[in-house]
Structures are given as C-alpha cells and as structure tokens.
Amino acid sequence: MNLHIRDGLLVDPVAKTTTVADVFIENDRVTAIGKAPKDFTADRTIDARGCWVMPGLVDIQARLRDPGQPEKGNIASETSAAIQNGITSMCLPPDTQPVIDNSATVELIHHRNATFGHSARVYPIGALTRDLGGDQLSNMASLKANGCVAFSNATRPLLNNLVQRRAMDYAAGENMLVIIQPIDVDLQGNGCAHEGAIATRLGLPAIPEAAETAALAKDIELVAQTGARTHFGQLSCARSVDMIRRAKAKGLPISTDCAMHQLFLTDHDIGSFDTSKLTLPPLRSQTDKEALREGIADGTIDCLCSDHQPHETDAKLRPFPSAEPGISAFDTFLSLALRLVEEKLLTLPEIIACLTVNPAQILGLPAGKLETGELADIIIVDPDAHQICRSKDFISQGKNTAFEGWDFNGKVLTTIVAGKIAYQR
C-alpha cells in the first residue's frame, strides 16, 4: 500500500526543523519527502494541510499491566490508548506478574500484542535479576535474543552493591542497556510525599530527596567503574539533574528521562490529600520542577516518558497513604508535551525529539525519525483541536489522571505504523 501525506508541516526531530512538504510511503517505509518517487501512485492520499506530521512517539516507560493486572489494564486497552494518542513504540518495565525474567513471558507479551494489540510496537525490558529478587542475574542474553531491549530491576533496586556491580559488568560485556530508577529503599521507607512543608503540614510520611540522590550517586560510581551503558529513569530532584550534568560532562555513558507530570505538578498540588497526585517518585518542590525543566532545555535530561500507570478506580479511593501511586498518562502525554512548546521551554521539534528520536536512539529502536528510508511510524496532529481533559473520555482503562479539567491544544488525527493506518479520527 502506498500512502501520500500532502501539505503537512513536517516536524523533523533530528534536524530540529519544521517544513511544509509531502511524505511518500511505500509498504512499511518512507521512500521520499518532498517530491514523489518515480512511478509512485498513491493508494491513498491524506490531506494534512494545517496539521503537523511527525514521527510516532516513543515512550521509554509505560506499564500496560499485562500480564497480571487485568483490573488495571491490558495490552488491548492500553495499546489502543497509545495508538490513539500518537505513541507507536513503548517499553514495558519488567514488574509484570509474572516478572519479565524468562523468555516465555516475553513471548507471551509479543503473542498478546500480535493477537489483541492495536499495532503498537511493544518492547519488553528484561528483569536484571530473577523475579526482581536482587540475588541472581536473569538470563539476560536469551531475554535479549527474544526481544528485550534493556534490563532493569524496576522499582526494586538491588540491595546488594556487589550484585549490582556484577549485573552492570555483565551487561556492559554484552553491550546491553541497563535502566535504573534510583531509589534508596530505606530512605524512601513508607513515604508517600516529598519531604517538605506540605508533607509536614499534612502529616504524611515523607520521602527525602536523598532517597533518590544517595542512590543515584552510588549508581553513577558503578557506571564509572563498570562502563555499563546506563539510563536513569523518572528523575525527580534538582540535585539529581546536577549530578547527571556533571557525570555526563565526565563522559560517562549515561542517559536520563523524567516523567512528563514532573514538569507540571508539585507537592502543592496534593492539596487536601488528593490521591490522583500520588506518584513515586513523589511530586517534588517548585525548585525541583524548574530544575527538571532546565535539564530538558539544556539536554541533561534526554527524554520524557509517560510513566503510564493505569489503575482501577478503587486503587485511588483510599486515604492518601494507602492509595496506589501512579498516573494514567497515555491520554495526556502528547498534549502536555505540546504545552511545553506553548510555554516556550523548547521549540516543537526539540520537544518532539525528547519523545521520539532521543529515546529511540538510547534503546536502539528503529523509530523516532521522519526521514527517507526510515520505518513509516508517523502521526498527524491537529494543533488547533482544543479539548478539556476529561478522564471519562480516556481511551486507557485507567481513568486516574492528575490533569482533570486542564485545557489542552492538539489532538492526534491519524496514526500510521509501518506504513499502515492504525488509527484515524
């Protein structure tokens, strides 16, 4: 099938430019931009006048809750939400039930996506240790052979530094990417809110910044020692941004992301125990939020992830400390990114790079570019479509948004995956 996308404003996250041009797609690839290839006849032409044409979004961390937590979401519901919101590739942390520490689970996920999914590319992240237990390394090479794109212990950091060092050494030797969410479990304790005036006033068990930074400092040292390519996920603190900036300046093989919501919300938004604002790491201070934004602006933070965590209603219908952390984020991911452009943090192609080519390059995924010869994972966005965020309209099974009632501009009109229209509004 040949597709012709006419007159759209092409957003190129590599060249960081926007140009009005046509895109020509043959089979699964972009075969020309600008002028049609010789003998091209379109099976279908999409008029994209006034719209933005950009690579499909790549989400470096999203939980689809499959296998294991059907009450929260499944591959069908969540890939449908992803595709309708422009996310064409996503990485799944290994803390599914069962854990992604064996090839059978990887195959199960691929099989379910092929059977019930909505054309999204789903990339499992393998467990660094068996059952995320922190004792024994998982069979990383066979997991990699089966399609795991990186290795992580998700939110269960390795408690034994020797095991962590060996895991990173092993990964470095096999040229695997390690993903770490820096957490010191003792400092985090049973905390549920940023250690600051708000937690003090509300009497909420607090999470100090050192719960992230102390772990990050140790992790960076182990990167220096092992040379393992390491991606730090879901950073939340100003001091973490500083540490990453210095580590990168030393030339360590480090990349980072932070969750989109951290650029918009702070602990003040908890208000009177609003469980929709309960996240881990917690929403931090205004200073932290601004430092994360600076980190995005100067490239210290390479990408933005959705940190999508759909929940059933009951998970949030509890007193704050007993509610489950996380935000259902697919349905607001692109809208929030576009808001960063409106707020002039970065230009449109620069922000889109944080959601496309940057994560794709870190993970080595065939995605994130809008260039001749690349896979045709493309989205068409109407920048003027105005909408008010209403969780009841979410495609995701999880209605747990932190952005209810927010005004957003921009809406995905068409999502193309491998040259096929996967969604059209």
Binding interface with other proteins (CB under 8 A):
195-197, 199-206, 271-273, 314, 317-322
CA distances 423 to 56, 347, 371, Å, are: 12, 26, 21
Minimum CB distance to other proteins smaller for 124 or for 325: 325
What are the φ and ψ backbone dihedral angles of 174, each rounded to 5 degrees? Answer: -100, 10
Catalytic residue, from 307, 331, 382, 384: name it.
307
307 is catalytic: yes
CB of 275 to other proteins, least distance (A): 9
CB of 69 to other proteins, least distance (A): 17
Q: Are 272 and 398 in contact (CB under 8 A)?
A: no
Q: Work out whether the CA dihedral 281, 284, 289, 294 comes out positive or negative.
A: negative
CB of 205 to other proteins, least distance (A): 7
Q: What is the residue type of 277? A: K
Minimum CB distance to other proteins smaller for 318 or for 386: 318
Question: Parallel, antiparallel, or unpaired: how do β-strands 44-47 and 29-33 relate?
Answer: unpaired
Q: Work out whether the CA dihedral 316, 321, 231, 150 comes out positive or negative.
A: negative
Minimum CB distance to other proteins smaller for 60 or for 206: 206
Minimum CB distance to other proteins smaller for 250 or for 318: 318
Q: Which of 4, 55, 85 is nearest to 425 (CA)?
A: 85
Q: What gap in Å lies between CA 164 and CA 153, rounded to an integer?
A: 10
Q: What gap in Å lies between CA 66 and CA 77, rounded to an integer?
A: 10
Angle at 276 between CA 122 and CA 337, to 5 degrees: 50
Minimum CB distance to other proteins smaller for 20 or for 197: 197
CB of 194 to other proteins, least distance (A): 10
Q: Which residue do the tokens 């994130």 mark?
A: 368
CB of 267 to other proteins, least distance (A): 11
Annotated catalytic residues are: 307
